[in-house]
Amino acid sequence: MKKLLVSLTTFVIIVLLILMQFNFLNTFPLFGISPCIGIVFICMVSIVAGEKAGTIVGFVYGIIQDAFLGRTMFETAILYMILGYVIGRFRHKIAIDNQLSLIAVIVLSTIATESCNFIVNITVYKAPIEVLYLLKVISIEIFYNLFLLYICYLPFVSWGKVMNRTNNSYYSLENNLR
Amino acid sequence: MRVLDSKKTKTIMKIILIMCIFLSIALTGGERRSVSFGESLLSKILYIPQGLVIHVSHLVTSDEVFFENIDELKTENEKLKQKIKELNEELIDYEIVKEENKTLKIERDTANTYETYNVEIANVIAASNNNWEEIFLIDKGSNSGIKPYMPVITKDGLVGYVLSCDNNTSKILAIIDATSSVSARATKTREEVLVKGSNLTKNQDKIVVSDIPVGIIYESGDSFETSGLGGIYPKGIKIGTVVQFVSKPNPLENTATLQTAVDFNKLENVAIIVSFKEDNNEEIVS
C-alpha cells in the first residue's frame, strides 16, 4: 500500500515537473536555451534511491514528455532511463552531501543528454551539424540546471529518501556497511 | 500645606471660585461670535467619543429597522443572488461568444488571405521544451478532420505541418525547426530554392535559404513563398523576407537568411489547411 502511494505521488510529481517545464521554465530561456528540470530530478532520485528507482523514474518522465510534445515515442524515455540507470549504478561513488560531486553529476548528465540529442537529431532527423549550437546549449544549460539544483536540491533529495525508504535498499546497505 | 489647611484660606478660595463661576457666566452668557480656546479644546476632546456614541446609537437604531424588515431583506437578498447567478451565466455566454468571434475573425482573415483554402482554426496550447525541437501542440485533432502532413498557416504566412495527431490534439513541426525544409520560390524572380530551419537562428524566427541558383543575389526585403513542390504545402503561402544575403567564394554555397512572416514567439492561433483548390479549380485534400 505504501509502495503504491509513493509510486502514485512520484507520478504526480513527474507530471507537475513536466507541466512546470512547459509552462514556466520554457518561458524564461537564457539566451534562447531552456533548462531541463527532468535531468536534475532524475539525477537526484537516482543518487538517493538507486538505479532501479532512477531507471523507472527516468523512463516514466521521458515517456510522458514524449507523449506530450515529443517527436518520437520512447526517444526521451530511453535517454532518461539510461541516465537514471547509470547514475544509480555509480551512486556509491557520489556523496550526496558533497556539493562538488553533485555539480559534477549535473554537468556530466547535461553534457551526455544534450550530446545524445544532438546525435539523434543529426542521424535520425537529418538535422544540420551545428556544433556551435551544441556548445551553446551545453554551456548555458549547465548553469541553468545547476541553478535549478540549488533551488530544488532539498525537495528532490527528500523525495528520493522517501522512495528509498519504501524500497528499503539503500538504508539496509548502509546499515550492513556499518 | 499649612496655608491650605487653615479655615480662612479655604473660605477665601471658595469665594474666589464662586466669583469666577459668576464671572464666566457673565462673560459667556451673551451672544458671541467665537468660542474661547478652552471651550474649543474641550469640544475637540469630546468630539471623538461623542462621534462614537452617535455612531453606535445609529447602528442600534438601524439594527432595529433591520430586525423589523428582516423578511423583506431576505427576499431582496434572494433576488440579488438570483440576479448575480443570471449575470454570471450571461458572462459565461459572453466569453463563449467572444471566443467564437475571435476564431471567426481569424478564419475570415485567413480566408481573405488564402481564398482557395478550406481551413480549421485551432489554438496553440503548448510549445516544446527541448532545445532541439520546435514543436507546437494545438487543441484540434483527428476528431476535427486533421491528419498528419496537413499544412499549418496563419494569416501572416506559413507555420509548418502536422507531425502527428490524436483525437483532440495535434503536434505541429514549425518551419524554424532545424530538421524542417520547405521548397520555396522567390516571389519576384520566381527561382526555386530550399528553405531550411537552423538551430542557431530559430530563436530569432530566422530560417536559411539554400540551393540558390548561381548568379542570383537577393536583397533585403525580397520575399519568398511556397513553391507547391514536395507534396505537403500548397503553393503561394508566404514564408518570409530576406534580411541578409551571404555570398561565399563558391557561389553554390551562397545563402540568405529569411525573417519568417509568422512571429513564432506570439503564436496563439493557427489554421490547418484541410483541403485547397489548385489552379485548375480541382480540390485537393491535404
User: Looking at this protein, which amino acid is placed at residue B131?
Assistant: N
Q: What are phi and psi of B222, to 5 degrees?
A: -65, 135
The length of chain B in residues reads 286
Q: Which pLDDT belongs to residue B28?
A: 63
User: 0.80 exceeded by the pTM?
Assistant: no
- Computed on alpha carbons and rounded to an integer, the radius of gyration of chain B in Å comes to 42
Considering only CB atoms, B127 lies closest to which of A26, A32, A125, namely A26
Look up the ipTM and state it: 0.81
CA of A37, closest CA in chain B: separation in Å?
Answer: 10
Q: A124 to each of A33, A74, A76, B128, B200, how far by Cα in Å? A: 22, 14, 14, 18, 19
Please give the average per-residue pLDDT across A123-152, as a whole number: 91
Residue whose entry in the numeric block shows the C-alpha cell 556509491: A92
Residue B126 has pLDDT above 50, yes or no: yes
Q: How confident is the model at residue A36 (pLDDT cuts 50, 70, 90)?
A: very high
Residues B220-255: pLDDT tens digits?
889 999 998 888 888 889 999 999 888 888 888 888
In this prediction, residue A178 has a pLDDT band, given cuts at 50, 70 and 90, of: very low
Average pLDDT for chain B: 82
CB pair distance less than 8 Å for A130 and B199: yes
Window from A47-51, A145-149, B103-107 with minimum mean pLDDT:
B103-107
Burial class of residue B63 in the structure, from the number of CB atoms within 10 Å of its CB (0-12 exposed, 13-18 middle, 19+ buried): exposed
CA-to-CA distance for A103 and A81, rounded, in angstroms? Answer: 20
Question: pLDDT tens across B81-116, in order?
Answer: 999 999 999 999 999 898 888 877 777 777 676 677
**Confidence check: pLDDT of B68 > 70:** no
Residue A169 has pLDDT above 60, yes or no: no
**Residue B44, pLDDT score:** 67
Tell which residue, A148, A117, A157, has the closest CA to residue A134. A117
pLDDT at B260 over 50: yes
Contact residues, chain A, for B171 at CB < 8 Å = 69, 71
pLDDT in tens, B11-36: 888 888 888 877 877 766 555 555 56
- Which pLDDT belongs to residue A176? 46
Angstroms from A116 CA to nearest CA on chain B = 11
Chain A to chain B Cβ contacts (< 8 Å): 65
Strands (E), A12-114: none
pLDDT at B161: 94
Q: Is the pLDDT of residue A80 over 90?
A: yes
**Would you say residue A92 has pLDDT above 90?**
no
Quick one: average pLDDT of B143-150? 91
For residue B103, give the nearest of B119, B92, B117 by alpha carbon.
B119
Mean pLDDT of A22-26: 84
Whether the pLDDT of residue B38 is over 90: the answer is no
Q: Which of A61-65, B64-68, B83-87, B129-133 has the lowest mean pLDDT?
A: B64-68
Chain B partners within 8 Å of A18 (Cβ) = 129
Beta partners for residue B225, in sequence order: B185, B238
| CB atoms A34 and B131 under 8 Å | yes
Of B93-107, B138-152, B175-189, the poorest mean pLDDT is in B93-107
Predicted local confidence at residue A177, as pLDDT:
47
The answer to whether A148 faces chain B, any CB pair under 8 Å, is no
Q: Provide the phi-psi class of B117: left if phi over 0, else alpha when psi is between -120 and 50, else beta.
A: beta
With left for phi above 0 and alpha for psi between -120 and 50, is residue A78 left, alpha or beta?
alpha
B171–A69 C-beta distance less than 8 A: yes
The confidence score (pLDDT) of residue A136 equals: 92
Percent above pLDDT 70 for chain A: 93
Residue A49 has pLDDT above 70, yes or no: yes
List the single residue in A68, A126, A141 with the smallest CB-CB distance to B131: A141
Cα–Cα distance, B84 to B88 (Å, whole number): 6
pLDDT band at B40 (very low <50, low <70, confident <90, very high): low
Supply the pLDDT for residue A107: 95
Strands of A47-102, DSSP E = none
